[in-house]
Amino acid sequence: MSGWWIADYWQQGETVLLASWIFWVIVSICLHELGHGYAAIWEGDDTPRITGHMTINPMVHMGGYSILAFILIGFAWGLMPVNPANFRHRRWGDAIVALAGPAVNLVLAIVLLTLAGVVTAMVGLEALGATAGERAYTFLHIGGWINLVLLVLNLLPIPPLDGSRVLATVSPGYARALMNPNIQLVGLGLFILILWSPIGGIALGFLSAVADLWSGTVVQGLILRIAGG
């Protein structure tokens, strides 16, 4: 084991898994940010369009530091500039825009995990070859799981995550706390602590079980039951 995640997957022959991880992390982050952007524009704020962020270009959404972090440790983030002062809904606009990103991840997770279940069922019904089915399942299942993780992580009420903006909408005290210039660093430290703690491992395992349950027991079971008459 080299200790570098890309080399580890490559040396283990997990090229499909590696390609799936890279593809879906980048695509999911970009679509997440575009969800924020479209919601902000709908709310009356043209900042995402003015700043050139309404694009699928990963360099625009993630930036050099995020992409470098992704290459080095497999972790990345994105950014969508918005101006809440322009939102038409003064009370709930910020929460609506904040929830739009995780909503995109939820839809992607459901669609990808459903397709993963369909692929496996097709293999079971001999409508798709085992090798092609395994590769397609890995690609779709990894994408679904990554989007589940992004959904849950971004809903944590820790700055600068989306959940903090939602909580600030309903809690004036929390909104005032977010104005502290040091709160972003505190939130980042707390986020890292949670992610790399036993709690983070348990949460990731639980989300993996949820992904397996949906794509396996629910979707495959339904298709095989229908096919069996």
Q: What is the pLDDT of residue 143?
A: 98
Percent of the chain clearing pLDDT 90 (strictly above): 77
Confidence of residue 220 (pLDDT cuts 50, 70, 90): confident
Closest alpha carbon to 45 in 53, 61, 55, 102: 53
Closest alpha carbon to 219 in 124, 88, 84, 105: 124
Q: What is the pLDDT of residue 2?
A: 60
Q: Is residue 21 helix, strand or coil?
A: helix
Higher pLDDT, 225 or 103: 103
What DSSP character marks residue 214? Answer: I
pTM to 2 decimal places: 0.93
Q: Are 141 and 108 in contact (CB under 8 A)?
A: no
Q: Are 95 and 166 in contact (CB under 8 A)?
A: yes
What HEC string does 56-110 produce?
A: CCHHHHCHHHHHHHHHHHCCCCCCCCCCHHHCCCCCCHHHHHHHHHHHHHHHHHH
* Arithmetic mean of pLDDT over the chain: 93
How many residues would you count in the chain? 229
Lookup: tokens for 59: 């360099």
| Distances from the Cα of 152 to the Cα of 59, 180, 183, angstroms | 24, 25, 21
Query: Does residue 177 register a pLDDT over 60?
Result: yes
What are the pLDDT digits (tens) for 203-217?
A: 999 999 999 999 988
Q: What is the pLDDT of residue 121?
A: 87
Q: Are 112 and 140 in contact (CB under 8 A)?
A: yes
Confidence of residue 14 (pLDDT cuts 50, 70, 90): very high
Q: What is the pLDDT of residue 226?
A: 86
Q: What is the pLDDT of residue 208?
A: 96
Higher pLDDT, 123 or 70: 70
For the residues 85-101, what does the mean pLDDT come to?
96
Number of H helices, E strands in the chain: 12, 0
Query: Does residue 76 register a pLDDT over 70?
Result: yes
What DSSP character marks residue 3? Answer: S
The Cα 164–Cα 106 span in angstroms is 18
